[in-house]
Amino acid sequence: MSNFRAAGTLRIAVLGIIALAAAVVSARAQETVSISVPLAVSFPVTDVSRSTSGAPNVTTISFSNANLSPGKAIRVSMQSDAAAFTPPSGTSIPASNVSWNNLGANGGIGWNGTLNSSSFALVFQSDPARTSGHIDLGWTLAAPASGIRAGNHQLTIRWKVESITP
């Protein structure tokens, strides 16, 4: 199917990962789905020696109106476009400091994961023949460590949505 690009912002005060929201994806004329991914996740960092939960506390990836070939399922993955955030100056924060937890999936299976730039990480896979479903994610930024400057730290992520035969 298609890849989605998203941009995010980290502030040491706030880190964000921004994504494309509600898009229609088509692999072939006969396969379509509407999908919604988190628009933004930010991490209000007040202490660089501690992990920070994402805000909003829970984000949802959902799909609806899936019109797939028989036996097919939706697979959603994500990947960082860079190994580290682009800092305002100084030391950068590794993309691998960002992780997510599956807080509940409906209509499929969800996975916990960590961002990286070398491969797509599986987030959700629907059950075959499902026309709708979702996964709720909780985000965490691992302690960025000392030497990180305050300001906007930016990171671009790419969403990949596929029609697959499980």
Closest to 101 (Cα-Cα) out of 45, 155, 36, 53: 53
- Identify the residue whose tokens are 């991490």: 43
pLDDT of residue 17: 42
Closest to 118 (Cα-Cα) out of 73, 78, 162: 78
Residue 96 DSSP SS3? helix
- Identify the residue whose tokens are 């499902």: 130
Q: What is the pLDDT of residues 75-109, one digit of tens each?
A: 999 999 999 988 888 889 999 999 999 999 999 99
Token pair of 23, please?
Answer: 């898009």
Residue 122 burial (C-beta neighbours within 10 Å; 0-12, 13-18, 19+): middle
Global pTM exceeds 0.75: yes
Token pair of 14, please?
Answer: 């706030």
Q: What are phi and psi of 12, to 5 degrees?
A: -90, 65
pLDDT of residue 30: 84
The answer to whether residues 164 and 68 touch, using CB atoms and an 8 Å cutoff, is no
Q: Taking all residues of the chain, what is their mean pLDDT, rounded to a whole number? A: 83
* Percent above pLDDT 70 for the chain: 83
